[in-house]
Amino acid sequence: MAQLQTSTTKLIPRNVLFGNPSKASPQLSPDGKRIAYLAPYNNILNVWLGDFGSEQYTVVSQDKERGIRNFFWAYTNEHILYMQDSQGDEDWHLYVVDLDTLKTRDLTPFDKIQAQIISRNKQRPEELLVAINKDDPRLHDVYHLDIVTGELKLIEKNPGNVAGWLADRQLKVKCAMAATDDGGMDLLLRLKEDSEWTSFLHWTSEDALNSHPLGYSAKGDILYLVDSRNENAGQLMALNVKEKTFSKIIGDEEYDVSGVMVHPDSYELQAVAFVKARNEWVVLDNSIAEDFKQLSVIHSGDFVVSSRNQDDSIWLVSYTCDNGPVHYYMYNRKSKKETRLFVNRPELLNYDLAEMEPIEFQSRDGLTIRGYLTCPLGVERKDLPLVLNVHGGPNVRDVWGYDPEAQWLANRGYACLQINYRGSTGYGKQFVNAGDREWGGKMHDDLIDAVNWAVHQGLADKKRICIYGGSYGGYAALVGATFTPDVFCCAVDVVGPSNLITMIKSIPAYWSTYLAIEYKRVGHPEKDDAFLKSRSPLFKVDRIKAPILIAHGKNDPRVKLSESEQIIEAMKSKNIPYEFLLFEDEGHGFAKPENRMKFYAAAEQFLAKHLGGQFEEIGT
């Protein structure tokens, strides 16, 4: 093994990178009088609350297991709601904390269900619409929920094909997304809550990943949506539901609309985002143009307005950067002045972090492939050990910003290469559809082309390259070890499928409406049996040459534990060495900090053994 270049960069402890944030996700109460945020309590993330402008905050939630990761204020100003599952099973329940009594109630107290928030309205502060698969695990019906009394009332039964619901601003369910047998989606609409559903338009599988409804205008006469029909990328459109006419608001030829900012009272669109190399905002509402101009100079990171008070005079703004923690500010729209609140991981400020650099290259068949490179500090960018860190999904994408794994790898002495291979979203439908039926095929070719690009640049040592990832990225790691065994010197697979046939057959019941899409994107387990076997690492185990580290959560509902167990058994039968970490209280990823510490401790020792980098001793 080549000698690793010595870096003078201080080793960043694992707990600084992968432990809980000290504070995160601040949110203003609707009346602007209080702020809530997430912070550890007995090393478990919970919600803390204090008066606006005060330094006195008190923990108000009582989660004792996995920690709260997402919460929101009820418009009552007296309740905080959050979602939680059990040991990673993704049976999400909706909980409410009464801020007067500090009592927590499960608002969806049913066994083996998954709740989804559909809609809420500040004019009806005690009410929510929530979808629950209580009567049939495959289908989510819509319920009206009173968060004070806990009363649930069924208002919309799923006919069997609805994959998603949308209500207007008066909490009337008037829009639905219905899966179709061709792997596409029908947009179902109705003018009144008691009228019949009409299939207004059909998105074929070609457009389904780039098109979706966003929300209604205040009067309910306009439905905003992202639509890629007759275009390559998803465009921001306005549909007049009565006149059945479309008008284009804005779009890009190559990049899909990634998000919008909506006024909390008028529901008018104020800004639209496109994630290119970085996030880019386009202002649609001139009343916020000066505010966005000011926000762009407060900090160099990419910003999001995460919370607004009742009269819209105070915004909470978060800034994400690639080489430091998330910064949170309070911004006064009247004075155009900002007040720094806190950063989510202040200990990171004590260390030098690497920059995440956008890169691009041409694939062997002529596609432009984009991604990000994070290199170790203080060493020459030449013949470095490289970790190809493959994102999951696969129909998502890596983005610019603080990535704890990228910083961890760079700090340990490795170049970290993150590639948005074909099938990744955000780059228009031609690019995402180029991934159809290409699991282990051209999607993997893109990853190999990325490795070759890095070697050709002189950046990477071709004898010291690891493939690493979770979910689809874990599958890609297994593909790397079996399909291209001479490219990688080691592989790390986290919750990755090993057999595409058993993966598809064991997906959660509530994904049943997406089965036709899965068949179109990946393959059909009966009709395409031979094809799916040819793309499954399990059946090429005898080609493995590189050592493999495998990690899995016992309760994973998406990629069952059996996906790791069966390839381990196959390796055992052929006396192929492996390392395996089983987490009894986790699912599709590792939520508990103690489990993250265990995994990353093992992973960095594994990488150090095979790539030669630094590692933090276990227990220090």
Query: What share of the chain has pLDDT > 90, as a percent?
Result: 95
pLDDT-derived band at 5 (thresholds 50, 70, 90) equals low
Quote the pLDDT of residue 307. Answer: 93
The DSSP line for 200-259 is EEEE-HHHHTT-EEEEE-TTSSEEEEEE-TTSSSPEEEEEETTTTEEEEEE--SSS-EEE
The whole-number average pLDDT for the span 47-55 is 90
Would you say how long the chain is, in residues?
620
At 397-434, the pLDDT tens digits run: 999 999 999 999 999 999 999 999 999 999 999 999 99
Active-site residue numbers?
471, 556, 588
User: Which pTM was predicted?
Assistant: 0.96
- Residue pair 147/481 in contact (Cβ under 8 Å)? The answer is no
pLDDT of 6 > 70? The answer is: no
List, in order of start, the domains of the chain with CATH numbers: 12-158 (2.120.10.30), 355-611 (3.40.50.1820)
Cα–Cα dist 422/439, whole Å:
10
Q: What is the mean pLDDT of the chain?
A: 96
pLDDT at 55: 84
Max Cα distance, the chain (Å): 72
Q: Look at residue 449 and tell me whether its pLDDT is greater than 60.
A: yes
Is the pLDDT at 466 greater than 90, yes or no?
yes
R_g of the chain, CA atoms, integer Å: 24
Mean pLDDT of all residues in 28-43? 95
Residue 298's φ and ψ, nearest 5 degrees, are -65, -40
Percent of the chain past pLDDT 70, that is, above it, reads 98
User: Which is it for the CA torsion 47, 48, 51, 52, positive or negative?
Assistant: negative
Whether 276 and 243 have beta carbons less than 8 Å apart is answered as no
pLDDT of residue 253: 95
- What is the pLDDT at residue 545? 96
Closest CA to 109 of 145, 138, 68, 79: 145
CA distance 122 to 120: 7
pLDDT of residue 310: 86
The whole-number average pLDDT for the span 46-56 is: 91
Is residue 287 scored above 80 in pLDDT? Answer: yes
Tens digits of residue pLDDT in 392-407: 999 999 999 999 999 9
The pLDDT of residue 52 is 83
Give residue 53's pLDDT: 80
Q: Is the dihedral of CA 38, 411, 396, 140 positive or negative?
A: negative
Query: How confident is residue 9, by pLDDT bands cut at 50, 70 and 90?
Result: confident
What are the φ and ψ backbone dihedral angles of 410, each rounded to 5 degrees? -65, -40
Task: Kindly tell me if the per-residue pLDDT of 620 is higher than 60.
Answer: no
Q: What is the dihedral of CA 375, 10, 389, 489, to 10 degrees?
A: 90
Question: What tens digit of pLDDT does each residue of 527-568 get?
Answer: 999 999 999 999 999 999 999 999 999 999 999 999 999 999
Cis peptide before 394 (omega within 30 of 0): yes
pLDDT at 22 over 90: yes
**For residue range 127-166, what is the model confidence (pLDDT) as tens digits?**
999 999 999 999 999 999 999 999 999 999 999 999 999 9
As to burial, measured by CB atoms within 10 angstroms (0-12 exposed, 13-18 middle, 19+ buried), residue 181 is exposed
Whether 7 has a pLDDT exceeding 80, the answer reads: no
Give the confidence band of 194 by pLDDT, cuts at 50, 70, 90. Answer: confident
Model pLDDT, residue 185: 97
| Helix then strand then coil, % of the chain, to nearest 5 | 20, 35, 45
Q: What is residue 216's predicted lDDT score, i.e. its pLDDT? A: 96
Question: What pLDDT is stored for residue 491 in this prediction?
Answer: 98
